[in-house]
A and B are shown apart, each in its own frame.
Chain A
Amino acid sequence: MFDASTIPDDLSSIGTVLSPMLPGDWRSMRPVVDREKCVKCAVCWVYCPAQCIVEKPRWFDIDLAACKGCGVCAAECPHRAIAMVEEVV
Protein backbone atom coordinates (compact mmCIF):
# COMPACT_ATOMS: atom_id res chain seq x y z
CA MET A 1 0.00 0.00 0.00
CA PHE A 2 1.13 3.52 -0.81
CA ASP A 3 2.77 5.25 2.16
CA ALA A 4 2.27 9.03 1.99
CA SER A 5 4.19 9.65 5.22
CA THR A 6 7.45 9.94 3.27
CA ILE A 7 6.15 12.94 1.32
CA PRO A 8 6.76 16.36 2.92
CA ASP A 9 3.46 17.76 4.19
CA ASP A 10 4.18 21.29 2.93
CA LEU A 11 4.74 20.43 -0.73
CA SER A 12 1.65 19.68 -2.79
CA SER A 13 -1.76 19.40 -1.18
CA ILE A 14 -2.83 15.75 -1.41
CA GLY A 15 -5.47 13.70 0.37
CA THR A 16 -4.73 10.07 1.27
CA VAL A 17 -7.39 9.48 3.93
CA LEU A 18 -11.15 9.71 3.51
CA SER A 19 -12.90 12.72 4.99
CA PRO A 20 -15.22 11.69 7.86
CA MET A 21 -17.82 14.21 6.69
CA LEU A 22 -20.92 12.98 4.86
CA PRO A 23 -23.22 15.06 2.66
CA GLY A 24 -25.86 15.03 5.39
CA ASP A 25 -23.47 16.97 7.65
CA TRP A 26 -23.97 20.21 5.73
CA ARG A 27 -27.64 19.87 4.73
CA SER A 28 -29.82 22.96 5.42
CA MET A 29 -33.20 21.51 4.31
CA ARG A 30 -34.35 17.96 5.09
CA PRO A 31 -36.86 15.97 3.03
CA VAL A 32 -39.69 14.47 5.10
CA VAL A 33 -41.95 11.81 3.53
CA ASP A 34 -45.68 11.84 4.28
CA ARG A 35 -46.33 8.09 4.50
CA GLU A 36 -50.06 8.53 3.92
CA LYS A 37 -49.50 10.28 0.58
CA CYS A 38 -46.66 8.08 -0.71
CA VAL A 39 -47.85 5.52 -3.29
CA LYS A 40 -44.37 4.06 -3.94
CA CYS A 41 -44.30 5.27 -7.54
CA ALA A 42 -40.48 5.58 -7.21
CA VAL A 43 -40.21 8.92 -9.04
CA CYS A 44 -38.08 10.20 -6.14
CA TRP A 45 -35.89 7.11 -6.40
CA VAL A 46 -35.37 7.78 -10.12
CA TYR A 47 -34.58 11.47 -9.75
CA CYS A 48 -32.46 11.56 -6.58
CA PRO A 49 -28.97 12.64 -7.81
CA ALA A 50 -27.28 11.17 -4.73
CA GLN A 51 -29.25 7.90 -4.87
CA CYS A 52 -30.18 8.13 -1.22
CA ILE A 53 -33.85 7.04 -1.50
CA VAL A 54 -34.45 3.91 0.60
CA GLU A 55 -37.33 1.51 -0.04
CA LYS A 56 -39.54 0.64 2.95
CA PRO A 57 -42.46 -1.87 2.99
CA ARG A 58 -45.14 0.81 2.53
CA TRP A 59 -43.31 3.95 1.41
CA PHE A 60 -40.00 5.37 0.17
CA ASP A 61 -37.77 7.05 2.75
CA ILE A 62 -34.50 9.02 2.76
CA ASP A 63 -30.99 8.00 3.88
CA LEU A 64 -30.29 11.21 5.80
CA ALA A 65 -26.56 10.50 6.15
CA ALA A 66 -26.19 10.69 2.38
CA CYS A 67 -28.92 13.21 1.51
CA LYS A 68 -27.53 16.71 0.99
CA GLY A 69 -30.98 18.31 0.91
CA CYS A 70 -31.12 19.39 -2.71
CA GLY A 71 -34.93 19.07 -2.84
CA VAL A 72 -35.18 17.40 -6.22
CA CYS A 73 -37.29 14.57 -4.74
CA ALA A 74 -39.76 17.05 -3.22
CA ALA A 75 -40.00 18.97 -6.49
CA GLU A 76 -40.54 15.83 -8.58
CA CYS A 77 -42.93 13.88 -6.33
CA PRO A 78 -46.25 13.74 -8.30
CA HIS A 79 -48.23 13.23 -5.07
CA ARG A 80 -46.69 16.10 -3.07
CA ALA A 81 -45.68 13.47 -0.51
CA ILE A 82 -42.26 15.01 0.28
CA ALA A 83 -41.83 18.30 2.17
CA MET A 84 -38.57 20.16 2.68
CA VAL A 85 -38.16 21.10 6.34
CA GLU A 86 -35.46 23.43 7.65
CA GLU A 87 -32.72 21.72 9.64
CA VAL A 88 -32.34 23.23 13.09
CA VAL A 89 -29.49 22.49 15.49
Chain B
Amino acid sequence: MSDVIGAPRVVVCEGNEAAAIGVALARPDVVAVYPITPQSSLVEHLSQMIADGTLRADLMNLEGEHSVMSALQGAALAGARTFTATCGPGLAFMFEPYIRAPGMRLPLVCVLVTRDVMSPQTVWGGQQDAMIVREAGWIQMYCETGQEVLDTVIMAYKIAEDRDVVLPVNVCCDGNYLGYGVTRVEVPDQTSVDAFLPPPDVNWHVALDPARPMAVDPLTGGAGGIGPRTFARYRKGQCRGMQNALHVIEDVHEEWAARFGRRHAPLVEEYRLDDAKYALVTIGSMTGAAKNAVDVARDNGQRVGLIKVKTFRPFPLQAMVRALSKVDAIGVVDRAVGFGWNCGPAFQETLGALYHTRRYIPAVSFIGGLSGADITETHFSRAIARTAQALAGAPPDGPVWLNEND
Protein backbone atom coordinates (compact mmCIF):
# COMPACT_ATOMS: atom_id res chain seq x y z
CA MET B 1 0.00 0.00 0.00
CA SER B 2 1.73 3.12 -1.09
CA ASP B 3 -0.96 5.51 -2.19
CA VAL B 4 -4.74 5.26 -1.96
CA ILE B 5 -5.34 8.67 -3.47
CA GLY B 6 -5.43 8.91 -7.22
CA ALA B 7 -7.01 7.23 -10.24
CA PRO B 8 -9.10 4.06 -9.95
CA ARG B 9 -6.89 1.04 -10.02
CA VAL B 10 -6.82 -2.70 -9.48
CA VAL B 11 -4.81 -4.32 -6.73
CA VAL B 12 -4.35 -7.89 -5.56
CA CYS B 13 -4.61 -7.98 -1.80
CA GLU B 14 -5.93 -9.80 1.23
CA GLY B 15 -9.34 -8.89 2.62
CA ASN B 16 -7.79 -7.17 5.62
CA GLU B 17 -5.87 -4.85 3.32
CA ALA B 18 -9.01 -4.27 1.24
CA ALA B 19 -10.74 -3.22 4.46
CA ALA B 20 -7.83 -0.93 5.35
CA ILE B 21 -7.95 0.70 1.91
CA GLY B 22 -11.67 1.26 2.37
CA VAL B 23 -11.08 2.84 5.78
CA ALA B 24 -8.39 5.14 4.37
CA LEU B 25 -10.69 6.24 1.56
CA ALA B 26 -13.33 7.14 4.15
CA ARG B 27 -10.80 9.54 5.75
CA PRO B 28 -11.21 8.71 9.46
CA ASP B 29 -9.86 11.20 12.00
CA VAL B 30 -9.04 8.67 14.70
CA VAL B 31 -8.04 5.00 14.47
CA ALA B 32 -7.73 3.29 17.86
CA VAL B 33 -6.46 -0.27 18.22
CA TYR B 34 -5.04 -2.74 20.64
CA PRO B 35 -1.99 -4.20 18.89
CA ILE B 36 -2.32 -7.70 20.35
CA THR B 37 -0.14 -10.32 18.75
CA PRO B 38 -1.60 -11.51 16.51
CA GLN B 39 -3.89 -8.59 15.77
CA SER B 40 -5.35 -9.07 12.32
CA SER B 41 -3.21 -7.50 9.65
CA LEU B 42 -5.96 -4.94 9.05
CA VAL B 43 -4.65 -2.40 11.54
CA GLU B 44 -1.06 -3.14 10.53
CA HIS B 45 -1.96 -1.92 7.05
CA LEU B 46 -3.65 1.15 8.53
CA SER B 47 -0.78 1.99 10.85
CA GLN B 48 1.59 1.70 7.89
CA MET B 49 -0.52 4.13 5.88
CA ILE B 50 -0.51 6.58 8.79
CA ALA B 51 3.26 6.17 9.24
CA ASP B 52 3.77 6.76 5.52
CA GLY B 53 1.59 9.85 5.64
CA THR B 54 -0.89 8.58 3.05
CA LEU B 55 -3.61 8.52 5.71
CA ARG B 56 -3.88 11.56 7.93
CA ALA B 57 -5.42 10.15 11.09
CA ASP B 58 -4.45 9.90 14.73
CA LEU B 59 -3.47 6.32 15.55
CA MET B 60 -4.03 5.42 19.19
CA ASN B 61 -2.27 2.28 20.41
CA LEU B 62 -4.12 1.58 23.63
CA GLU B 63 -3.72 -0.93 26.43
CA GLY B 64 -6.76 -3.01 25.56
CA GLU B 65 -9.96 -3.14 23.54
CA HIS B 66 -12.00 -1.77 26.44
CA SER B 67 -9.92 1.40 26.21
CA VAL B 68 -10.11 1.34 22.42
CA MET B 69 -13.89 1.48 22.37
CA SER B 70 -13.95 4.05 25.18
CA ALA B 71 -11.45 6.29 23.39
CA LEU B 72 -13.45 6.08 20.17
CA GLN B 73 -16.57 7.16 22.04
CA GLY B 74 -14.74 10.24 23.29
CA ALA B 75 -13.40 10.91 19.81
CA ALA B 76 -16.85 10.58 18.28
CA LEU B 77 -18.34 12.89 20.91
CA ALA B 78 -15.70 15.42 19.84
CA GLY B 79 -16.85 15.00 16.24
CA ALA B 80 -14.29 12.57 14.84
CA ARG B 81 -14.93 9.90 12.25
CA THR B 82 -13.45 6.78 13.82
CA PHE B 83 -12.35 3.25 13.08
CA THR B 84 -11.25 0.13 14.86
CA ALA B 85 -11.08 -3.59 14.14
CA THR B 86 -11.25 -6.49 16.52
CA CYS B 87 -12.49 -10.05 16.94
CA GLY B 88 -12.93 -12.94 19.38
CA PRO B 89 -11.33 -12.28 22.77
CA GLY B 90 -10.67 -8.63 21.87
CA LEU B 91 -14.37 -8.12 21.17
CA ALA B 92 -15.16 -9.86 24.45
CA PHE B 93 -12.85 -7.49 26.33
CA MET B 94 -14.47 -4.56 24.53
CA PHE B 95 -17.97 -5.62 25.57
CA GLU B 96 -18.86 -3.01 28.22
CA PRO B 97 -18.26 0.11 26.12
CA TYR B 98 -19.29 -1.86 22.99
CA ILE B 99 -22.86 -2.35 24.22
CA ARG B 100 -23.00 1.28 25.31
CA ALA B 101 -22.15 2.79 21.91
CA PRO B 102 -25.48 2.08 20.13
CA GLY B 103 -27.55 3.58 22.96
CA MET B 104 -25.35 6.69 22.89
CA ARG B 105 -26.11 6.79 19.15
CA LEU B 106 -22.48 7.06 18.12
CA PRO B 107 -21.92 6.27 14.42
CA LEU B 108 -18.72 4.24 14.86
CA VAL B 109 -17.45 1.76 12.29
CA CYS B 110 -15.68 -1.40 13.46
CA VAL B 111 -14.65 -4.30 11.26
CA LEU B 112 -15.03 -7.68 12.95
CA VAL B 113 -12.56 -10.05 11.33
CA THR B 114 -14.75 -12.82 12.65
CA ARG B 115 -13.29 -15.61 14.65
CA ASP B 116 -14.49 -18.64 16.53
CA VAL B 117 -14.59 -18.47 20.31
CA MET B 118 -12.42 -20.41 22.71
CA SER B 119 -12.57 -22.89 24.26
CA PRO B 120 -11.75 -25.40 22.74
CA GLN B 121 -8.65 -23.34 22.09
CA THR B 122 -8.74 -21.72 18.68
CA VAL B 123 -7.34 -18.75 16.81
CA TRP B 124 -9.19 -19.50 13.58
CA GLY B 125 -12.15 -18.09 11.71
CA GLY B 126 -15.82 -18.56 12.41
CA GLN B 127 -18.73 -16.22 13.08
CA GLN B 128 -19.32 -17.15 16.72
CA ASP B 129 -17.93 -13.84 18.07
CA ALA B 130 -20.15 -11.70 15.87
CA MET B 131 -23.19 -13.90 16.51
CA ILE B 132 -22.72 -13.61 20.27
CA VAL B 133 -23.02 -9.81 20.04
CA ARG B 134 -25.89 -9.75 17.59
CA GLU B 135 -28.21 -8.26 20.25
CA ALA B 136 -25.79 -5.51 21.27
CA GLY B 137 -27.50 -2.98 18.99
CA TRP B 138 -24.81 -2.66 16.32
CA ILE B 139 -25.68 -2.96 12.65
CA GLN B 140 -24.04 -6.10 11.23
CA MET B 141 -23.25 -6.59 7.55
CA TYR B 142 -21.50 -9.83 6.51
CA CYS B 143 -19.40 -9.70 3.35
CA GLU B 144 -18.83 -12.34 0.69
CA THR B 145 -15.66 -11.10 -1.05
CA GLY B 146 -12.67 -8.86 -0.47
CA GLN B 147 -14.16 -6.38 -2.90
CA GLU B 148 -17.38 -6.33 -0.92
CA VAL B 149 -15.38 -5.72 2.28
CA LEU B 150 -13.73 -2.62 0.78
CA ASP B 151 -16.98 -1.30 -0.66
CA THR B 152 -18.99 -2.04 2.49
CA VAL B 153 -16.51 -0.36 4.82
CA ILE B 154 -16.97 2.91 2.92
CA MET B 155 -20.74 2.45 2.74
CA ALA B 156 -20.77 1.67 6.47
CA TYR B 157 -19.79 5.25 7.31
CA LYS B 158 -22.58 6.65 5.18
CA ILE B 159 -25.10 4.29 6.78
CA ALA B 160 -23.88 4.89 10.33
CA GLU B 161 -23.88 8.68 9.97
CA ASP B 162 -27.23 8.89 8.20
CA ARG B 163 -29.39 11.07 10.43
CA ASP B 164 -32.23 8.55 10.29
CA VAL B 165 -29.87 5.84 11.61
CA VAL B 166 -27.05 7.27 13.82
CA LEU B 167 -25.89 3.84 14.97
CA PRO B 168 -22.55 1.99 14.99
CA VAL B 169 -21.83 -0.53 12.25
CA ASN B 170 -19.91 -3.78 12.28
CA VAL B 171 -18.63 -4.89 8.89
CA CYS B 172 -18.13 -8.65 9.33
CA CYS B 173 -15.23 -10.08 7.37
CA ASP B 174 -14.75 -13.85 7.74
CA GLY B 175 -11.49 -14.48 9.57
CA ASN B 176 -8.90 -16.38 7.54
CA TYR B 177 -11.09 -16.83 4.45
CA LEU B 178 -11.75 -13.16 3.69
CA GLY B 179 -9.20 -11.59 6.03
CA TYR B 180 -6.21 -13.45 4.61
CA GLY B 181 -7.75 -14.52 1.30
CA VAL B 182 -5.95 -12.73 -1.53
CA THR B 183 -8.12 -11.58 -4.43
CA ARG B 184 -8.42 -8.95 -7.12
CA VAL B 185 -9.88 -5.75 -5.73
CA GLU B 186 -10.84 -2.58 -7.54
CA VAL B 187 -9.92 0.53 -5.59
CA PRO B 188 -12.11 3.54 -6.27
CA ASP B 189 -10.37 6.89 -6.57
CA GLN B 190 -10.45 9.30 -3.65
CA THR B 191 -12.34 12.01 -5.50
CA SER B 192 -15.21 9.65 -6.27
CA VAL B 193 -15.34 8.44 -2.68
CA ASP B 194 -15.32 12.02 -1.45
CA ALA B 195 -18.30 12.75 -3.70
CA PHE B 196 -20.10 9.68 -2.30
CA LEU B 197 -19.25 10.10 1.37
CA PRO B 198 -19.86 13.53 2.89
CA PRO B 199 -17.56 14.94 5.58
CA PRO B 200 -18.02 13.48 9.09
CA ASP B 201 -21.41 14.16 10.67
CA VAL B 202 -20.88 12.48 14.00
CA ASN B 203 -21.71 14.68 17.01
CA TRP B 204 -24.55 16.96 15.90
CA HIS B 205 -26.83 15.36 18.50
CA VAL B 206 -24.52 14.53 21.41
CA ALA B 207 -21.17 16.21 21.95
CA LEU B 208 -18.27 17.10 24.17
CA ASP B 209 -18.15 20.70 23.01
CA PRO B 210 -17.82 23.86 25.14
CA ALA B 211 -19.92 25.73 22.61
CA ARG B 212 -22.81 23.32 23.18
CA PRO B 213 -22.80 22.57 26.91
CA MET B 214 -24.63 19.35 27.77
CA ALA B 215 -24.49 16.38 30.08
CA VAL B 216 -23.74 13.28 28.00
CA ASP B 217 -25.73 10.18 28.88
CA PRO B 218 -27.24 11.29 32.23
CA LEU B 219 -29.05 8.76 34.37
CA THR B 220 -32.49 7.63 33.15
CA GLY B 221 -34.86 4.84 34.12
CA GLY B 222 -35.83 3.73 37.57
CA ALA B 223 -39.20 2.90 39.07
CA GLY B 224 -40.88 6.30 39.16
CA GLY B 225 -40.81 9.95 38.16
CA ILE B 226 -39.83 10.80 34.58
CA GLY B 227 -37.13 8.09 34.52
CA PRO B 228 -39.06 5.10 33.13
CA ARG B 229 -40.67 6.94 30.22
CA THR B 230 -37.41 8.69 29.43
CA PHE B 231 -35.57 5.38 29.16
CA ALA B 232 -38.39 3.83 27.12
CA ARG B 233 -38.37 6.80 24.74
CA TYR B 234 -34.64 6.47 24.05
CA ARG B 235 -34.81 2.67 23.72
CA LYS B 236 -37.74 2.94 21.33
CA GLY B 237 -35.82 5.54 19.32
CA GLN B 238 -32.89 3.15 19.13
CA CYS B 239 -35.16 0.44 17.73
CA ARG B 240 -36.56 2.96 15.25
CA GLY B 241 -33.02 3.78 14.12
CA MET B 242 -32.37 0.10 13.50
CA GLN B 243 -35.54 -0.24 11.41
CA ASN B 244 -34.69 2.95 9.48
CA ALA B 245 -31.32 1.37 8.72
CA LEU B 246 -33.01 -1.22 6.50
CA HIS B 247 -34.05 1.30 3.86
CA VAL B 248 -30.90 3.42 4.33
CA ILE B 249 -28.73 0.34 3.70
CA GLU B 250 -30.71 -0.29 0.51
CA ASP B 251 -30.45 3.34 -0.62
CA VAL B 252 -26.71 3.52 0.08
CA HIS B 253 -26.03 0.27 -1.81
CA GLU B 254 -28.10 1.60 -4.72
CA GLU B 255 -26.09 4.84 -4.80
CA TRP B 256 -22.86 2.83 -4.59
CA ALA B 257 -23.94 0.76 -7.62
CA ALA B 258 -24.82 3.90 -9.55
CA ARG B 259 -21.53 5.64 -8.80
CA PHE B 260 -19.06 2.76 -8.85
CA GLY B 261 -20.79 0.12 -10.99
CA ARG B 262 -20.63 -2.64 -8.39
CA ARG B 263 -23.96 -3.93 -7.15
CA HIS B 264 -23.99 -5.80 -3.84
CA ALA B 265 -27.26 -7.12 -2.47
CA PRO B 266 -27.87 -4.79 0.50
CA LEU B 267 -29.98 -7.02 2.72
CA VAL B 268 -30.65 -10.40 1.12
CA GLU B 269 -29.43 -11.80 -2.18
CA GLU B 270 -31.61 -14.23 -4.10
CA TYR B 271 -29.56 -16.55 -6.31
CA ARG B 272 -31.33 -18.80 -8.87
CA LEU B 273 -34.42 -18.65 -6.69
CA ASP B 274 -37.31 -17.77 -8.99
CA ASP B 275 -38.18 -21.32 -10.09
CA ALA B 276 -36.54 -23.07 -7.12
CA LYS B 277 -38.33 -25.69 -5.02
CA TYR B 278 -35.85 -25.39 -2.16
CA ALA B 279 -32.89 -23.26 -1.17
CA LEU B 280 -29.81 -22.93 0.94
CA VAL B 281 -29.48 -19.91 3.21
CA THR B 282 -25.89 -18.68 3.63
CA ILE B 283 -24.09 -15.81 5.30
CA GLY B 284 -20.66 -14.39 4.54
CA SER B 285 -17.78 -15.75 2.50
CA MET B 286 -19.10 -19.34 2.41
CA THR B 287 -21.57 -18.17 -0.21
CA GLY B 288 -19.17 -18.47 -3.16
CA ALA B 289 -18.67 -22.21 -2.72
CA ALA B 290 -22.39 -22.61 -2.03
CA LYS B 291 -23.27 -20.90 -5.31
CA ASN B 292 -20.92 -23.26 -7.15
CA ALA B 293 -22.66 -26.24 -5.55
CA VAL B 294 -26.06 -24.79 -6.50
CA ASP B 295 -24.86 -24.41 -10.12
CA VAL B 296 -23.74 -28.05 -10.20
CA ALA B 297 -27.04 -29.23 -8.70
CA ARG B 298 -28.92 -27.12 -11.23
CA ASP B 299 -26.92 -28.78 -14.05
CA ASN B 300 -28.11 -32.10 -12.61
CA GLY B 301 -31.74 -30.99 -12.76
CA GLN B 302 -32.19 -30.02 -9.11
CA ARG B 303 -34.45 -27.00 -8.65
CA VAL B 304 -32.36 -25.46 -5.88
CA GLY B 305 -31.59 -21.81 -5.21
CA LEU B 306 -29.74 -19.79 -2.61
CA ILE B 307 -30.60 -16.99 -0.22
CA LYS B 308 -27.61 -15.01 1.08
CA VAL B 309 -28.05 -12.83 4.14
CA LYS B 310 -25.79 -9.79 4.07
CA THR B 311 -27.46 -7.59 6.67
CA PHE B 312 -28.14 -9.67 9.78
CA ARG B 313 -28.72 -6.72 12.13
CA PRO B 314 -31.26 -5.27 11.75
CA PHE B 315 -32.79 -8.54 10.57
CA PRO B 316 -34.13 -7.97 7.05
CA LEU B 317 -37.56 -9.45 7.77
CA GLN B 318 -39.45 -8.32 4.67
CA ALA B 319 -36.65 -9.26 2.28
CA MET B 320 -36.34 -12.68 3.92
CA VAL B 321 -40.11 -13.23 3.80
CA ARG B 322 -40.06 -12.40 0.09
CA ALA B 323 -37.27 -14.90 -0.55
CA LEU B 324 -38.57 -17.66 1.71
CA SER B 325 -42.04 -17.44 0.14
CA LYS B 326 -40.57 -18.76 -3.12
CA VAL B 327 -39.44 -22.17 -1.79
CA ASP B 328 -40.90 -25.21 -0.04
CA ALA B 329 -37.83 -26.25 2.00
CA ILE B 330 -34.69 -24.58 3.25
CA GLY B 331 -31.28 -25.56 4.58
CA VAL B 332 -29.57 -22.84 6.59
CA VAL B 333 -25.78 -23.02 6.84
CA ASP B 334 -24.30 -21.36 9.91
CA ARG B 335 -20.63 -20.74 10.75
CA ALA B 336 -21.59 -20.57 14.44
CA VAL B 337 -23.77 -22.42 16.91
CA GLY B 338 -26.73 -21.27 18.96
CA PHE B 339 -26.40 -23.02 22.29
CA GLY B 340 -29.95 -22.21 23.36
CA TRP B 341 -31.70 -23.94 20.49
CA ASN B 342 -29.20 -26.63 19.41
CA CYS B 343 -28.93 -25.19 15.91
CA GLY B 344 -27.26 -22.36 14.05
CA PRO B 345 -28.23 -18.79 14.98
CA ALA B 346 -29.15 -17.78 11.43
CA PHE B 347 -31.27 -20.94 11.22
CA GLN B 348 -33.21 -19.99 14.34
CA GLU B 349 -33.82 -16.48 13.03
CA THR B 350 -34.86 -17.82 9.62
CA LEU B 351 -37.51 -19.86 11.44
CA GLY B 352 -38.70 -16.57 12.96
CA ALA B 353 -39.03 -15.08 9.47
CA LEU B 354 -40.85 -18.20 8.23
CA TYR B 355 -43.64 -17.48 10.74
CA HIS B 356 -44.29 -14.26 8.83
CA THR B 357 -44.72 -16.22 5.58
CA ARG B 358 -47.71 -18.01 7.20
CA ARG B 359 -46.28 -21.28 5.88
CA TYR B 360 -44.85 -24.32 7.63
CA ILE B 361 -42.04 -25.83 5.53
CA PRO B 362 -39.20 -28.30 6.24
CA ALA B 363 -36.05 -26.55 7.48
CA VAL B 364 -32.61 -28.00 8.19
CA SER B 365 -29.85 -26.44 10.29
CA PHE B 366 -26.33 -27.05 8.96
CA ILE B 367 -23.38 -26.10 11.14
CA GLY B 368 -19.98 -25.90 9.45
CA GLY B 369 -16.82 -23.92 9.06
CA LEU B 370 -16.18 -23.73 12.80
CA SER B 371 -12.71 -22.76 13.98
CA GLY B 372 -11.29 -22.27 10.51
CA ALA B 373 -12.77 -25.39 8.88
CA ASP B 374 -13.36 -25.07 5.15
CA ILE B 375 -16.92 -25.50 3.91
CA THR B 376 -16.18 -26.83 0.45
CA GLU B 377 -18.39 -27.23 -2.57
CA THR B 378 -18.65 -30.93 -1.59
CA HIS B 379 -20.05 -29.99 1.81
CA PHE B 380 -22.61 -27.74 0.16
CA SER B 381 -23.57 -30.49 -2.30
CA ARG B 382 -24.28 -32.72 0.72
CA ALA B 383 -26.31 -29.91 2.30
CA ILE B 384 -28.31 -29.53 -0.90
CA ALA B 385 -29.01 -33.27 -1.04
CA ARG B 386 -30.01 -33.35 2.63
CA THR B 387 -32.37 -30.39 2.15
CA ALA B 388 -33.92 -32.20 -0.84
CA GLN B 389 -34.53 -35.20 1.48
CA ALA B 390 -36.21 -32.87 3.96
CA LEU B 391 -38.41 -31.53 1.17
CA ALA B 392 -39.34 -35.13 0.34
CA GLY B 393 -40.50 -35.63 3.91
CA ALA B 394 -37.44 -36.78 5.86
CA PRO B 395 -35.98 -33.88 7.82
CA PRO B 396 -33.17 -34.67 10.30
CA ASP B 397 -33.85 -34.65 14.04
CA GLY B 398 -31.22 -32.04 14.85
CA PRO B 399 -28.50 -29.97 13.27
CA VAL B 400 -26.23 -31.48 10.60
CA TRP B 401 -22.54 -30.91 11.43
CA LEU B 402 -20.88 -30.48 8.03
CA ASN B 403 -17.24 -30.96 9.06
CA GLU B 404 -17.64 -33.66 11.71
CA ASN B 405 -16.36 -36.41 9.39
CA ASP B 406 -13.64 -34.38 7.62
Contact = CB atoms under 8 A, between A and B. Distances in A.
Contacts of B220: 13
A75 to B, nearest CB: 28
A14 B215 contact: yes
Contact of B206 (A9, A10, A14): A14
A9 to B, nearest CB: 7
A12 interface: yes
Name, among A7, A12, A15, the residue most crowded by chain B CB atoms within 10 Å (CB to CB): A12
Interface in A6-58: 7-16
Interface in B8-33: none
A4 interface: yes
A40 to B, nearest CB: 38
A9 B106 CA distance: 15
A13 B166 contact: no
Given A13-B220, A13-B230, A7 B215 contact: no
B298 interface: no
B363 to A, nearest CB: 37
Contact of A10 (B213, B218, B234): B234
Given A2-B211, A2-B212, A10 B240 contact: yes
Contacts of B104: 12-13
Contact of B215 (A2, A8, A11, A15): A15
B236 interface: yes
Contact of A2 (B105, B214, B241): B214
B226 to A, nearest CB: 11
Contact of A9 (B105, B212, B233): B233
A47 B36 CA distance: 44
Contacts of B236: 10
A72 to B, nearest CB: 24
Interface in B202-233: 204-206, 211-218, 220, 230, 233
A56 B216 CA distance: 39
Contacts of A4: 214
A12 B103 CA distance: 7
A70 to B, nearest CB: 20
A84 to B, nearest CB: 27
A9 B226 CA distance: 14
Contacts of A13: 103-104, 217-218, 220, 230, 234
Contacts of A12: 103-106, 166, 205-206, 216-217, 234
A15 B234 contact: no
Name, among A8, A9, A13, A14, the residue most crowded by chain B CB atoms within 10 Å (CB to CB): A13
B205 A11 contact: yes
A41 B120 CA distance: 65
Contacts of B166: 11-12
A8 B236 CA distance: 12
Contacts of A10: 233-234, 236-237, 240
Nearest to A4: B214
A8 B213 contact: no
B216 A2 contact: no
B205 A15 contact: no
Contacts of A7: 204-205
B240 A2 contact: no
Nearest to B217: A13
B153 to A, nearest CB: 24
B234 A14 contact: no
B233 to A, nearest CB: 5
Interface string B93-127: 00000000001111000000000000000000000
Contacts of B105: 11-12
Contact of A8 (B103, B205, B218): B205
Given A12-B205, A13-B234, 19 more contacts: A2-B214, A4-B214, A7-B205, A8-B205, A8-B237, A10-B234, A11-B205, A12-B103, A12-B216, A12-B234, A13-B217, A13-B218, A14-B206, A14-B218, A15-B214, A15-B215, A15-B218, A16-B213, A16-B214
Interface of A: 2, 4, 7-16
10 contacts: A2-B213, A2-B214, A4-B214, A11-B166, A12-B205, A12-B206, A13-B104, A14-B214, A14-B215, A16-B215
Closest 6 CB pairs of A and B: A10-B237, A15-B215, A12-B206, A12-B105, A15-B218, A2-B212
